[in-house]
């Protein structure tokens, strides 16, 4: 599991890469990618999905995806929860990534190296500041028993606020229920065409918040309240 410092670093460096170098990975780099696929935890006690790397993709150095037969909302949330852990692991290893979706295909993670210099740490830092400016303020996404928001909880909420989402919709709200409890609510009413990406987005934000909570308290747990609401305890 990542430490608090590693999670903050990964979230700060992670960017959605748009342009990749067209180059193959070396055997050592392929091993690093495969190592990133193994260092993940599931959203519940079930086993993780079968993630794999394929070099066969017209952009970047390849893609990471998992085989799935169940495309229900809970399964897609699980997909985003595990996939974002891979994204953060790859970020710490120096790779550039991007969640991408092609027509008739499940979302996948493009892996490679930036083509335009945006993989540089200075450029990544400037893009982090840009992302911060384009995130919804706390008052728009947080409600409930706000007296319980201390530095520990703020770190967890901020990890969620900085999560990527399709078209930067940020389709979630955080309800503070108690000293060590936050409910994460995804959008309730969405067009069917967006069901997949919104469910994966919910898994992504859960991943950020769970990893930070678990780094602060190794008792962190995520459990479903409903199809689009989850309880994080820590």
pTM score, two decimals?
0.91
Residue-wise pLDDT for 93-122, tens only, equals 999 999 998 777 789 999 999 997 655 665
pLDDT of 131 above 70: no
- What CATH topology corresponds to 134-233? NADH Oxidase (3.40.109)
Tell me the average pLDDT across 66-92: 95
* Residues 6+ positions from 27 with CB-CB distance below 8 Å: none
Q: What is the largest CA-CA distance in the chain?
A: 51
What percent of the chain is predicted at pLDDT more than 70? 90
186 pairs with which residues across the strands? 172
The rounded distance, in Å, linking the Cα atoms of 160 and 122 is: 23
Taking the domains of the chain in order of start, what are their residue ranges?
4-121, 134-233
Provide the pLDDT confidence category of residue 193 given band limits of 50, 70 and 90. Answer: low
> Which fold, 4-121?
NADH Oxidase (3.40.109)
| Res. 60 pLDDT band, cuts 50 70 90 | very high
Instruction: Work out whether the CA dihedral 176, 145, 167, 17 comes out positive or negative.
Output: negative
* Same fold: 4-121 with 134-233: yes
199 within 8 A of 80, measured Cβ to Cβ:
yes
């Amino acid at each position: 599991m990542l430490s608090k410092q590693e999670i903050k670093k990964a979230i700060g460096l992670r960017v959605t890469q748009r342009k990749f170098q067209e180059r193959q990975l070396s055997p050592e780099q392929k091993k690093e990618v495969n190592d990133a696929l193994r260092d993940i935890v599931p959203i519940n006690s079930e086993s993780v999905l079968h993630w794999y790397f394929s070099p066969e993709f017209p952009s970047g150095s390849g893609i990471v995806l998992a085989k799935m037969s169940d495309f229900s909302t809970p399964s897609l949330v699980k997909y985003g929860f595990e996939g974002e852990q891979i994204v953060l692991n790859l970020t710490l290893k120096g790779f550039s990534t991007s969640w991408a979706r092609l027509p008739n295909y499940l979302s996948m993670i493009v892996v490679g190296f930036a083509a335009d210099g945006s993989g540089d740490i200075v450029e990544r830092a400037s893009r982090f500041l840009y992302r911060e400016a384009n995130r919804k303020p706390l008052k728009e996404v947080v409600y409930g028993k706000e007296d319980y928001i201390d530095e520990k909880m703020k770190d967890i909420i901020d990890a969620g606020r900085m999560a990527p989402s399709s078209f930067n919709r940020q389709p979630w709200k955080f309800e503070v229920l108690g000293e060590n409890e936050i409910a994460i609510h995804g959008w309730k009413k969405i067009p069917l065409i967006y069901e997949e990406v919104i469910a994966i987005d919910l898994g992504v934000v859960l991943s950020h918040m769970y990893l930070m909570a678990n780094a602060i308290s190794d008792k962190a747990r995520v459990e479903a309240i409903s199809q689009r609401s989850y309880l994080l305890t820590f």
